[in-house]
Amino acid sequence: MTLFKFGKLKLKDFLIRPEIKRSTALLIMALIAIFSIALMLRIYPAKYGFYLNEFDPYYDYYATKYIVDNFERKGLSGLFDYFTWIDKRAWYPEGRNVAGSSQVGLHFAGALLYLIVKNFLNLSISLYDFLVLFPVFIGSFTVFTIFLLAKKVSGVGGGLLASLIIALSPPIIHRGNLGWFKSEPFALLLTTFACYLFLTLYDIKIGRTNLIIRSFITGFLLGYANTAWGGSLYFNIVFGLFFLIAPFINIDLKRTVYVGSIIVATNLIFSSILPRPGPSIITNPAGLIIFFGLLFTIISYLIKSSVFVRFYWKTLGMILFSMALLILTIISFGGVSRVGGRYLTVVMPFIRSADPLVESVAEHFVPTGSDYFSSYSILLFIACFGAIIAFRKRTPHYVFILILSAAGIYIASSFSRLMVYSSLAIAILASIGFNELTSTIMGQVIKPSSLKKFKVKSMGSEIKVLYSICMIALLTMPIVYPQRANWLEVADMPVSIANAATNYRTQLSDWLEALRWMRENTDPNAVFASWWDYGYWITVMGNRTSLADNATINSTRIAQLGRMFMSDEYTALKILNDLKADYVVIFVAGQTIKTRDATYYILGGGGDESKKQWFIKIGGLNISQYLYEDEFTPKPYFWENTLMGKMLPFTPTVYARFDQFGRLVDQSDEYKPGYTAIYQYDMKYPPEGDGPLKLAFISSSLAESKAGIFASVLIYKIVK
């Protein structure tokens, strides 16, 4: 059959199959595979339920919903209502200034992306479901920005390894899996892309217009990341240190001054526009570092252009010393914004904060050597090799990566939540080491001596094959080993509300039951007192007013609640009445043991029974008065003289010692070090009692008294 003709052209001339190199096709397939791995690992917790994870994401969802609802009701003007919103459901009765105390950039990103998906792409999805999936896709997209960043210093192979590390890294997954609608995944995507764009600014072939555009985008990404996560200030420090070091290395200072001025100005302007961090970014230590770093580069460039080379280094030293004195003077006269205890601990990990409120948070624990080894394994050694290679080369690209990595590892040593920075550092340094090692071995030439030519080639091939097998085995080992702590097992963690915020890898519906009961069975204006951990859940999912939440805005209030739980009935009731509370919530976890004759309970699983030592410390009380030397097992005083002791429906009966297999070895009527308290059920404030508290609700895992794990929420009504 003859094809249609257009003049002398045939239709097949218009149907040209695009040509693509085999290497490009393989690269695309590799990146798609890595993205798919990242996606699957981050969505893994869906097997336990499709929920937001942890505590903060619930308030971030709540704030994002406020933006969406106001936009749909009022249009563009509705977006500005967010900035004047005082939420009275949190931190009652004072309320919370949401815009001034939240990650504004994250809330607007979630809201605007949802509106685009809903109104322009016509996808039928609720805001809640969209935000549950938000970190899964945002975190997975980071593998592409990491690939681009690592590729600048370690080639395609190194870039692929770095992206694979980020896809599998436990610290990254822990803070970016299903439901983790918090700052880290979004901010890391912005900042890593900003770092990549910054490195491209030193490409010789890039034109002036392109240079300006990329500089503006880099500054905008850094500035917007600052509004989405306080941890993004780390990247301001990295850029500031790079500008400080730039005059001492072989770099185009003119270009650095040119692009640096655009980046710093854009960064600080966009950071200042939104209430947090707001204009205080200028006097924030991170803002001062990047500003004075750029200023030093500008002065160095002017000096280099006007003085003899032999005076250059001496003059630089004098300028640097003068700037240090100026900064110290500014600090002395209070010109630097106040730095919170958490941020101070990050900068100076060797002086851990004495604030028990900071120390009580699990994500603020200091990471140990075993944490690093279980998270990175053989990558630690490859990364060390990569650091040596980068230090030897000392080009602008490698210097920037060294600063990024060294600062990341240093900062990660303070809090476990900041191990995302060490993952970033290890991924890029390991990619450099891997690329150098692989290119050396795969490209080696064994010179023949007395050996025959074919034997030399055979030996070279054998070494390459052996290296490939060993490297694949070493890199994949942490994915499946050790058995209970490998990377795949780490990804298999339920979201907090699905396992009732316990340490158990199972489904427990207790908190969902309790929050539903709050919504359906209490007055809409009821005020709930609880430990601050559960404030977001009560406000957002329970749709009721809470006295404190996870923002820790008012540490005095949290200390007051700690003292309330640890006080006698009269004192505790006075505190609750002063705060106008209507209900008190307590959460207890442990195991139920059934025998022929009785039912016994062992406490400890992540509930308030495991946090009571922090109630005491944060409340400023003497811990030895309430607990034995293990700072866990309560003394009789706790059970007899505290409101919490009477709210917990248990009474100790015996103390037992178990061996490593859980078999009973010995028991005692008195507490002994190493012994575990065994309890019997004892409800002190039953529903039909006359006060001062009455049990209003108890969740199923304890109410049904089945053998196994329990994680029960008990809600008591205050008798008035």
| Residue of 17, 149, 56, 621 lying closest to 425 (CA atoms) | 149
d(Cα 281, Cα 268) in Å, to the nearest integer?
Answer: 7
Amino acid type, 671: Y
Residue 384 CA from chain centroid, whole number: 25
**CB-based contact 353:405 (threshold 8 Å):** no
State residue 616's pLDDT score.
Answer: 97
Return the biggest CA–CA distance within the chain. 104
Contacts of residue 1, defined as CB under 8 A and 6 or more positions apart, other chains included, come to none
pLDDT at site 685? 96
Residue 19: predicted pLDDT: 77
Report how far Cα 379 is from the mean position of its chain's Cα atoms: 21
Predicted local distance difference test score (pLDDT) of residue 460 = 65
Q: What is the pLDDT of residue 448?
A: 44
User: Do 603 and 679 contact (CB within 8 A), yes or no?
Assistant: yes
Cβ neighbours of residue 426 closer than 8 Å, sequence gap 6 or more: 165, 169, 376, 379, 380, 383, 405, 409
Of the candidate CATH numbers 3.10.120, 1.10.10, 1.10.287, 3.40.50, the domain formed by 510-718 belongs to 3.40.50
The residue ranges of the chain whose pLDDT is under 70 are: 1-18, 307-310, 335, 337-355, 361-364, 443-460
C-alpha span between 332 and 188 (Å, rounded):
34
pLDDT the model gives residue 490: 80
pLDDT for 623-640, tens place per residue? 999 999 999 999 999 999
Task: Decide if 597 contacts 541 (C-beta within 8 A).
Answer: no
Q: Residue 354: its pLDDT value, please?
A: 61
Instruction: Name the DSSP class of 417.
Output: G
Taking the C-alpha atoms of residue 162 and residue 149, their distance in angstroms, rounded to an integer, is: 9
* Total count of residues recorded for the chain: 720
Which pTM does this prediction carry? Answer: 0.90
Closest by alpha carbon to 108, among 137, 136, 66, 59?
Answer: 66
Give the per-residue pLDDT at 488.
82
Closest C-alpha among 74, 72, 100 to residue 87: 100
642, two tokens: 């505290």
For residue 678, list its beta bridge partners: 654
The whole-angstrom separation of Cα 192 and Cα 146 is: 6
| Structure-token match 């065994």, residue found | 678
Task: Go through 16-34 and write b for each residue having 16 or more CB atoms within 10 A of its CB, e for each that does not.
Answer: eeeeeeeeeeebeebbeeb
pLDDT of residue 6: 45
Residue 664 backbone phi and psi in degrees, to 5: -65, 130
Contact 671, 633 (CB under 8 A): yes
pLDDT for 253: 92
Q: How far is CA 68 from CA 64, 192, 304, 526, 538, in A?
A: 6, 28, 53, 26, 21
